[in-house]
Structure 1
């Protein structure tokens, strides 16, 4: 199956658990990989104004992915989606941080682009609302259907 890994916002400013970083790193080199890094620019996305917090302006990915794309906000950039489409994939495996927000936003962007988003349920962490990621997994299954565990890969 032609597939790639999309790693969402695994960066120092969000303090991902070590098990998540280790689990994702174990997949690097086994398939094409793309990581997003969320950076703050209030003129692009008003996190501070609307939410009273913001990501770091200069974070980098903790995962050595083949390609890294900077984003400002929840969803991956059009350039990220275009790159993934150029790989002629059957599915995009999504993992990383904020299952019910940033990962879900990536799922919608992938779906809208005609790609098959597939969440790796044991390599994702939810927001402070639900650190287990359970809410995000249920939303993912409702909207996109496709999930796997890292042991299935």
Structure 2
């Protein structure tokens, strides 16, 4: 890990908990997200940027995010290394319930690259928080994914693709992040 690096890759909630919801996981808006996350991880390691693995935990919930069930772990195929940053959050964003900001600042990180699961929830919220904390933010939309939101009462359903586009628009137009694609970061077509 390059301690002089100004950029860190934040891999948010790319964890087995989501695969425990097979119907939802099968209909994810971006089935290429995990492959794109792997490309970003490989690139970060190649150029010496720190990689931070963030998982989400809901202790005592009895659900797929309850750590006692064993699903609060990074997808094995992403191969997190023991010397990389690893934090487990209990809030939507990756900063409020962890020491992630402190750990990034110790490494002189000024820019974060965000990818992971739940584009509009944990990924977008982390991007907004990182921006508020003064980090430059790149949001790699094709290395995120989410699921549709079903209609409820008077509210219309929102497709996963609509959520992806909305998140890009909000983050970019409001100045929270620069929205990019995996190829923009790794320098090759994917």
TM-score, normalised by the number of residues in structure 2: 0.67
- Asked if residue 35 in structure 1 is aligned to residue 53 in structure 2, the reply is yes
Give secondary structure in 2 for the equivalent of 1:100. Answer: helix
- Asked if residue 85 in structure 1 is aligned to residue 105 in structure 2, the reply is yes
User: Compared with structure 1, are the counterparts of its residues 109 and 78 closer, same or farther at alpha carbon in structure 2 (3 Å cutoff)?
Assistant: farther
Report the equivalent of 1:7: 11
Q: Which has the larger radius of gyration?
A: 2
Report the equivalent of 1:118: 138
What is the aligned-residue RMSD (CA, Å)? Answer: 2.3
Paired with 1:82 and 1:55, the residues of 2 have a C-alpha distance of 28
* Structure 1, unaligned runs of 5 or more: 43-47
Paired with 2:166 and 2:87, the residues of 1 have a C-alpha distance of 26
Give secondary structure in 2 for the equivalent of 1:85. Answer: helix
In the TM superposition, what is the alpha-carbon distance from 1:54 to its structure 2 partner? 4.8
Residue correspondences, number: 144
User: Compared with structure 1, are the counterparts of its residues 26 and 116 closer, same or farther at alpha carbon in structure 2 (3 Å cutoff)?
Assistant: same
8 Å contact 1:99–1:137 — kept in the other structure? no
Measured against aligned partners, the alpha-carbon deviations of 1:121-143 in whole angstroms (never above 9, x if no partner) come to 21011343242322222222133
Paired with 1:89 and 1:135, the residues of 2 have a C-alpha distance of 28
In the TM superposition, what is the alpha-carbon distance from 1:22 to its structure 2 partner? 2.1
In the TM superposition, what is the alpha-carbon distance from 1:78 to its structure 2 partner? 4.1
* Structure 2, unaligned runs of 5 or more: 20-24, 150-158, 186-190
Paired with 2:131 and 2:63, the residues of 1 have a C-alpha distance of 27
TM-score, normalised by the number of residues in structure 1: 0.81
Report the equivalent of 1:107: 127
Counterpart pick for 1:26 among 25, 34, 39: 39
- Asked if residue 98 in structure 1 is aligned to residue 102 in structure 2, the reply is no
Paired with 1:125 and 1:72, the residues of 2 have a C-alpha distance of 20
8 Å contact 1:118–1:147 — kept in the other structure? yes
- Asked if residue 152 in structure 1 is aligned to residue 184 in structure 2, the reply is yes
Measured against aligned partners, the alpha-carbon deviations of 1:9-38 in whole angstroms (never above 9, x if no partner) come to 000111366632222122222321001100
In the TM superposition, what is the alpha-carbon distance from 1:57 to its structure 2 partner? 1.4
